[in-house]
A and B are shown apart, each in its own frame.
Chain A
């Protein structure tokens, strides 16, 4: 048996009836006015039980009805105001839901009306009421589906309204305005919670937590937290209650949203102190937070900036309960850093990221903590150092040196620290600055000066010192007012060698192989290149013998530019007698008893000689490929196009170049070509190329290309690519291309990035040098395989340069296709 309808129910029913049927505005006004009393604050004319019943049972029905009638647009102003007040003063959650619901179904005038109502709802801080309602409700278990609906509607509000209103959308609903507003309201809601806790009544922040999580998952951390974090930073500073509410807020964030929230917080927090105050010991309490903070952000991703890393690791360092995590993190980081597979398969930026994290960890950790796990750390570091020094990529080696220096000095402080020679640059300075020990501040100390002033101070110091250094030069140049006395170039003013340079190539050979007179020896070495070019016939008689002497030449005294002189002489010999010397050099490349240095010299000489042969005169001004740069050894076309790599050019050339580039000529015609000449390389390319490519898979006792000597293998692949490129337009290019593609195929999964780079540039030079028809006619299968491999590398290779080279090679393939297509289908 149904209970008798209550007074409230009767009143509501009457109002609804009046709304739906009555044309009489007065009656509607009256009946609604009578309902209004159920909305009012406690102590009003209605009984609390009646109010509750109204809010729980009838309110949303009434609102829906009201919303529907608002659509008709006939309401008198006072009636409209009354209606609005139901939405703006009644239980906020239901009002919000009804508003959003009716917006979904509405159109035209009604839509605008409801949107404006919603905008008033927002501007009158009804959101705070909504959250407050939910916070209180959670004390007695609320109705989860309703809460879910509320959450998703609140978070998705900008999207909904954007979709509905399209171009008429109101500024309040733009995400960049809405979420900061939401942040403000969250703070106000939390204020209410704090007040009520102070008043002794229970409250739950779970709804706000979920809201925060959901917003962050939706990718709006930045807008929301940029408001929330500064406010909370101030509020939590003095008040323990606030701190606890804040901690609770973050603890109750659902696991699936935890990562988004934490990333946002780490990003928005100005330093570890603030982060520590906001998070408390969250990492200890929440498994998910622990995973995110100690593993995911550090080891699985590499998107945090250095400042974020400092906040994150500083946070871990700030409390004794969290410090074990920091030690653990350091161990894991070092393990990753030291793993050879990680070195090979992770991109360079990530390696850099891990290295930075290690240095920051070290800066926060104290001696005793490091001593406890010293052996473990040392072992990982040494393993990593070895792998890194073995790498053929200079940045990897350098990272290894920097980190190992710092780690060894911290862990193994009593012994002599490791010292490496590496070029200093911005990165190394930054990394060493990161490793400066940070004073560990306790979280209770409150705000302490952040790192920014320290950085500014040091930079100011360096500026000062540079100014000081510059000053002494000032007066000297100032005193000299005689502007007309401009010094001439005096770089040629070198020490005079008394010893007479030999005049014949044969004498040089003799002097270099037997002479004990160092000055004579040096003079011979200096004179050799010129002599060879002047007397090609005489050189040919002794070419192989000379090449042998030069290849085995050791620097017996300190001769400036010894390496360059020797290399130039070797190149000159090879150019003068290409077939004979190339045969000798290539046979020696795979011979026993040579050092890696000598083998790499052979490769360099072959490349340079091939370049000189195919393009005479280029080498005179071309940069010397010295031992320092690995990357300069790539394809000669690339090397020649690198700006800044050329030796200081004659200033006249520079000026002429500038004038030419700035002056436009009327009758330009075709640009003047360099004087053409026969490509002398094409007839001897085979001597250079095939002996080199034949034996790479036959390991010797002292030389294992496929094993440890991958650096030489990398150089070999680059050299082969360069030789292939230089053999353009020659008949031998086709068999060379075929052999090279097979070589590439055999090595395509090599673990070393430098080798892969060489292979990729070799593929490019095959595509450039072998005529398109021949490629398709003779090597279609190889091309298909290469294409599949290139696509794979372009997508998946961890090394950025490899990906780039693969994309370039793919573009070349595309161009090849375009070139052939018009011919086949007219």
Chain B
């Protein structure tokens, strides 16, 4: 009996020792979602994580659907807490909470941008902005702690971007490209501010596949590069590394950087298996980024090296949007009416 026990003891570590080797040689199988949210009953077109009063510690997830509803999901109970109906059955394309909390911006295809008051369980539209563009361009905001914040929306003319000061809704300026540039419609916007200067900067992805950097206060284009053959569908910018990434309807993902003279230049492009990126987002800790693909797949890359890390083939329709929470949780929304939530490479 004793001898057998001994041999067991000596045998088991031998078995364990082989495990790391195995893991190093064979890549782990693709991960599964942590959970899936169902019940939007139409395609999900916008996702946003926002800090909420109801959820102690855990953020809320806002989703906008094709049927015009905004669902507010508790990640604790994994149920919809509230449903906001403010866009008259038209698709909700963009969602954003304000840093002060309790306020949500939603943009819909009914040419309305609604500001919701969510404080103390209220679900009412406080204010709304009339949009004049019928395009697909999502808006962008730049908001610090102050009560005044800046909003960029697609403008009246097809190639314009309008800058508004909120909450007064006063139009600050209209950014219109030079007459001979003809970049087409703006497709996506990103407002940001360099750490060194207070001047707001705007990155615009245009229909002709170019990305332009606007200096908002001077109303001029600092730099513009053509990164894609097809319209730019989504972009995100890492202001610390001064590097951004954009995805288009084509087969490539472009990474570009901004130098000291505020000139954009393409660092590299990454070829994808299937064409079409509808959204691209960098995780707040700037370690990884995720893309939403028309090929039903979410791709995850290492942000610094652009090494492909994972292909999440969970959805069976076009993935429309990806969003990261501050704690690293990834949510993806797709045409198959599902929202999947993933926990990949958690913070250590």
The A interface, classified by DSSP as helix, strand, loop or mixed, is: loop
Residue of A485, A487, A664 with most partner-chain B CB within 10 A: A485
**Is there contact, CB below 8 Å, between B27 and A663?**
no
CA distance A652 to B15 in the complex (A): 14
| Contacts A663-B15, A664-B7, A666-B4 given; does A487 touch B308 at CB 8 Å | yes
Could you say which of B18-26, B54-62, B76-84 contacts chain A? B18-26
Chain B CB within 8 A of A74 CB: no
**Is there contact, CB below 8 Å, between B28 and A488?**
yes
Chain B CB within 8 A of A482 CB: yes
A residues 555-594 in Cβ contact with B at 8 Å: none
A652 — which chain B residues lie within 8 A by C-beta? 29
**A182, chain B: closest CB distance, angstroms:** 56
CA distance A247 to B17 in the complex (A): 66
B residues 1-43 in Cβ contact with A at 8 Å: 4, 7-8, 11-12, 14-15, 18-19, 22-23, 26-31
Could you say which of A211-219, A320-328, A409-417, A491-499 contacts chain B? A491-499
| Contacts A484-B348, A666-B4 given; does A495 touch B311 at CB 8 Å | no
A residues 385-425 in Cβ contact with B at 8 Å: none
A residues 610-651 in Cβ contact with B at 8 Å: 650-651
**B214, chain A: closest CB distance, angstroms:** 34
Q: Closest A-chain residue to B9, C-beta based? A: A664
**Is there contact, CB below 8 Å, between B15 and A662?**
yes
**Is there contact, CB below 8 Å, between A496 and B309?**
no
B residues 293-318 in Cβ contact with A at 8 Å: 295-297, 302, 304-305, 307-311, 313
B345 — which chain A residues lie within 8 A by C-beta? 484-485
Chain B CB within 8 A of A140 CB: no
**Is there contact, CB below 8 Å, between A654 and B296?**
no
CA distance A337 to B288 in the complex (A): 64
CA distance A485 to B305 in the complex (A): 11
Hey, what's the 0/1 contact readout for A485-510 against B, CB within 8 Å counting as 1?
11111101111100000000000000
Chain B CB within 8 A of A72 CB: no
**Is there contact, CB below 8 Å, between B4 and A486?**
no
CA distance A487 to B345 in the complex (A): 10
| Contacts A490-B30, A490-B310, A495-B274 given; does A485 touch B7 at CB 8 Å | no
A487 — which chain B residues lie within 8 A by C-beta? 27, 307-310
Chain A CB within 8 A of B240 CB: no
CA distance A655 to B345 in the complex (A): 23
Chain A CB within 8 A of B273 CB: yes
CA distance A262 to B295 in the complex (A): 74
**B341, chain A: closest CB distance, angstroms:** 17
**Is there contact, CB below 8 Å, between A489 and B30?**
yes
A488 — which chain B residues lie within 8 A by C-beta? 27-31, 309-311
A658 — which chain B residues lie within 8 A by C-beta? 15, 18, 22
Chain B CB within 8 A of A659 CB: yes
How many chain B residues sit at the interface, stated as a range, is 35 or more
**A314, chain B: closest CB distance, angstroms:** 47
**B74, chain A: closest CB distance, angstroms:** 29
**A803, chain B: closest CB distance, angstroms:** 39
Chain B CB within 8 A of A480 CB: yes
CA distance A662 to B19 in the complex (A): 12
| Contacts A485-B307, A659-B15 given; does A496 touch B27 at CB 8 Å | no
Chain B CB within 8 A of A479 CB: yes
Hey, what's the 0/1 contact readout for A124-154 against B, CB within 8 Å counting as 1?
0000000000000000000000000000000
A496 — which chain B residues lie within 8 A by C-beta? 273-274, 295-296
CA distance A525 to B104 in the complex (A): 49
**Is there contact, CB below 8 Å, between B11 and A489?**
no
**Is there contact, CB below 8 Å, between B26 and A480?**
no
B residues 323-348 in Cβ contact with A at 8 Å: 345, 348
**Is there contact, CB below 8 Å, between B12 and A494?**
no
**A659, chain B: closest CB distance, angstroms:** 5
**A519, chain B: closest CB distance, angstroms:** 14
A484 — which chain B residues lie within 8 A by C-beta? 345, 348
Q: Closest B-chain residue to A660, C-beta based? A: B15
Pick the residue among A479, A495, A664 that contacts B305 (CB under 8 A): A479
Q: Closest B-chain residue to A654, C-beta based? A: B22
**Is there contact, CB below 8 Å, between B309 and A664?**
no
**Is there contact, CB below 8 Å, between B14 and A662?**
yes
Q: Closest B-chain residue to A490, C-beta based? A: B311
CA distance A480 to B288 in the complex (A): 13
**B328, chain A: closest CB distance, angstroms:** 12
| Contacts A480-B305, A493-B311 given; does A485 touch B288 at CB 8 Å | yes
**Is there contact, CB below 8 Å, between A482 and B273?**
no
B12 — which chain A residues lie within 8 A by C-beta? 662-663
CA distance A487 to B302 in the complex (A): 9
**Is there contact, CB below 8 Å, between A495 and B273?**
yes
B296 — which chain A residues lie within 8 A by C-beta? 496
A residues 644-697 in Cβ contact with B at 8 Å: 650-652, 654-655, 658-659, 661-664, 666
B295 — which chain A residues lie within 8 A by C-beta? 496
Hey, what's the 0/1 contact readout for B242-276 against A, CB within 8 Å counting as 1?
00000000000000000000000000000001100
B27 — which chain A residues lie within 8 A by C-beta? 486-490
B14 — which chain A residues lie within 8 A by C-beta? 662
B22 — which chain A residues lie within 8 A by C-beta? 651, 654-655, 658
| Contacts A486-B27, A658-B15 given; does A480 touch B307 at CB 8 Å | yes
**B112, chain A: closest CB distance, angstroms:** 34
**Is there contact, CB below 8 Å, between A492 and B4?**
no
CA distance A488 to B23 in the complex (A): 11
Q: Closest A-chain residue to B276, C-beta based? A: A496
**A473, chain B: closest CB distance, angstroms:** 13
CA distance A143 to B28 in the complex (A): 88
**Is there contact, CB below 8 Å, between A664 and B11?**
yes
A residues 197-235 in Cβ contact with B at 8 Å: none
A490 — which chain B residues lie within 8 A by C-beta? 27, 30, 308, 310-311
Pick the residue among A493, A495, A650, A663 that contacts B8 (CB under 8 A): A663
**B222, chain A: closest CB distance, angstroms:** 31
**Is there contact, CB below 8 Å, between B307 and A655?**
no
B309 — which chain A residues lie within 8 A by C-beta? 485, 487-488
Residue of A480, A650, A664 with most partner-chain B CB within 10 A: A664
| Contacts A490-B311, A492-B311, A664-B7 given; does A485 touch B302 at CB 8 Å | yes
Given A651-B23, A655-B18, A666-B8, 16 further pairs, Cβ under 8 A: A487-B307, A487-B310, A488-B29, A488-B30, A489-B30, A490-B27, A490-B30, A490-B311, A492-B30, A496-B295, A654-B22, A658-B18, A659-B15, A662-B11, A663-B11, A664-B4
Interface CB pairs A-B, < 8 A, 28: A480-B307, A482-B304, A486-B27, A487-B307, A487-B308, A488-B27, A488-B309, A489-B28, A489-B30, A490-B27, A490-B30, A490-B311, A493-B297, A493-B311, A494-B273, A495-B274, A651-B22, A651-B23, A651-B29, A658-B18, A658-B22, A661-B15, A662-B11, A662-B12, A662-B15, A663-B11, A664-B11, A666-B4
Ranked nearest first, the 3 interchain pairs of A and B with the lowest CB-CB distance are A662-B15, A651-B26, A496-B295
